[in-house]
Amino acid sequence: MRKCREYAERNAIRVVDQHICTDEGMSGVGMDRPSLQRLLCAALSPSREFDTILVDDTSRLSRSTESVLTIYRKLNFAGIQLIAVSQNIDSQHDQAETLIKIHGLIDGSYVRELAKKNRRGCESAVLRGQHVGGRCYSYRTVPDGKGTAKHLVIEETEAKIVRRIFEMSAAGYSLKSITKTLNAEHTGGRGNWCPTGIRAMLKRELYKGEMIWNRSRFEKVPESNKRRRKMRDESGWIRTRRPELAIVSEELWDGVQARLNFLGAKPSQGRRRGLLTRSLTSPYLFSGLLKCGECGANLIVGTGGGTHRNKKYLCANYFNRGTCKNDLYIRRDVLEERPLGRLQSELLRPEVIDYAVSEFGRQLRGALLTLSDNLSVLRRRKEQLDGKLERSLLRAKQDDDAHHEDVLLYEERLSGPQWRRISRLNSYGRKTEKLMDALLKL
């Protein structure tokens, strides 16, 4: 910001303070940064208050070559001057786009190389027995000498809860049963245990004293700073034995895994995670749309509440966690008929139908008027071409006796590409007239 202000002072550029934009602490790879989007909206608005944008260098816009080129072309088309102060790039110069491409490649390469170096440093720390991940339940991180290195130690209060969860699972408790028991007792001072969290804890190898690193990687979604987790091949995992971090015995951990694998083998067989959310691919009509009137959680399709013959909607927090008191089960067919019936009764009213018909007629008439204007232009062009053709033939006939050879050459020229082009225009004019007559009959 300081560099841009100094450049503005040297070149007599007035800075509009309300349009100074920064995105601190956010990666420059993505385009979904709030301040950047606010700046672009203001720059591309018809009523913008500035005509020049100053940046320290092109990486402040984006570290993606495609993104920074897109920004440059949009601003250039809108007539806005883009200046990269440190790189001495001015969008009004002829070589600006070439320089932006070169620096964009350098910026993108910097991000990739930085990621490789960061990963290499994390790998070295793991091999030294240090912790490089986030917080793990029942453990806390303590400084490991000088610098930012840390290692894990057991938090005994939370470790007791982990042992209890493993023992309940080994005793035959389901994930939902464990969840509801912990929430009812407010175990650990919290009442938001969930089945998926319990399953993740039961499958964590760290609780038996084995640390695994490089199990997965995070890839950024293109044009955004959102990340998607993807599993790595097991051959690339780095396993280290840490018996001092073991909370449950290896026999108990293996027994729980055998039970979970037995219970989850058939339901999960052949399933793959898709790119769309479950609500979009669900076979149920209102998945992801219905909310509980008590706690605001999504309604899900479950079983229970009497007979299992019909699918029923119920509160997810009540069914999975036991944290909501809404124990109402509503049959799927009954619930879906209510909004559909309401839509039918509202949409099929005479006044609604009349409005839809009149609106359709208004838009159709507007389209026909536009088409009529285009046809008028085509007709005038056709008349001009017909007049030129008649005058050309008339002059050719008048000079027939004196310039017979020239006329033959002229007619030969007319029988070539020019004549075919005129014939196509005549045919197109006849087709447009037929189309207009057909549309007017509607």
**pLDDT tens digits, the chain, 442 residues: what are they?**
899 999 999 999 999 888 888 888 777 777 778 888 888 888 888 888 899 999 998 888 888 888 888 888 888 888 899 999 988 889 888 888 889 888 888 888 888 888 888 888 888 888 888 888 788 889 988 887 767 788 889 999 999 999 999 999 999 898 989 998 998 888 887 778 888 889 999 999 999 999 888 888 888 777 676 778 888 888 888 888 889 999 999 999 999 999 888 877 544 444 455 555 655 666 677 777 888 998 888 888 876 555 556 788 889 888 888 888 888 888 888 888 877 777 777 777 888 888 888 888 888 877 777 666 667 777 777 777 777 777 777 776 666 555 555 545 445 444 455 555 555 555 555 555 554 555 455 4
8 Å CB contact between 59 and 28: yes
Contacts 24+ apart (CB under 8 A), 14-22: 16/49, 16/50, 19/49, 19/50
The type of residue at 289 is L
Backbone angles phi, psi at 218, to 5 degrees: -115, 120
Instruction: Report the length, in residues, of the chain.
Output: 442
Predicted model pTM: 0.54
CA distance 208 to 202: 10
CA distance 119 to 418: 68
User: Residue 156: is it exposed, middle or buried by C-beta count within 10 angstroms (0-12/13-18/19+)?
Assistant: exposed
CA distance 223 to 61: 12
End-to-end CA distance of the chain: 62
- Residue-level pLDDT at 249: 92
Helix axis angle for 250-268 and 195-202, nearest 10°, is 130
The type of residue at 366 is G
Residues sharing a CB contact under 8 Å with residue 105, sequence separation 6 or more, in sequence order: 65
Q: Torsion angle of alpha carbons 155, 157, 161, 162, nearest 10°?
A: 10
Angle at 101 between CA 100 and CA 103, to 5 degrees: 65
Residue 120 Cα distances to 52, 116, 125, 129, 220, angstroms: 42, 6, 9, 15, 19
Residue 361 Cα distances to 357, 365, 367, 432, angstroms: 6, 6, 10, 22
- Residue-level pLDDT at 309: 67
The DSSP bridge partners found for residue 153 are 140
Residues sharing a CB contact under 8 Å with residue 207, sequence separation 6 or more, in sequence order: 138, 162, 166, 201, 246, 247, 248, 253
| DSSP one-letter code for 245 | G
Handedness of CA 66, 69, 75, 79 (dihedral sign): negative
Residue 67 Cα distances to 21, 59, 101, 438, angstroms: 18, 10, 11, 47
Q: How do 312-315 and 299-302 pair as beta strands?
A: antiparallel
Domains along the chain?
2-126 (3.40.50.1390), 139-266 (3.90.1750.20), 284-347 (no CATH), 358-441 (1.10.287)
CA distance 210 to 344: 60
8 Å CB contact between 199 and 212: no
| DSSP one-letter code for 403 | T
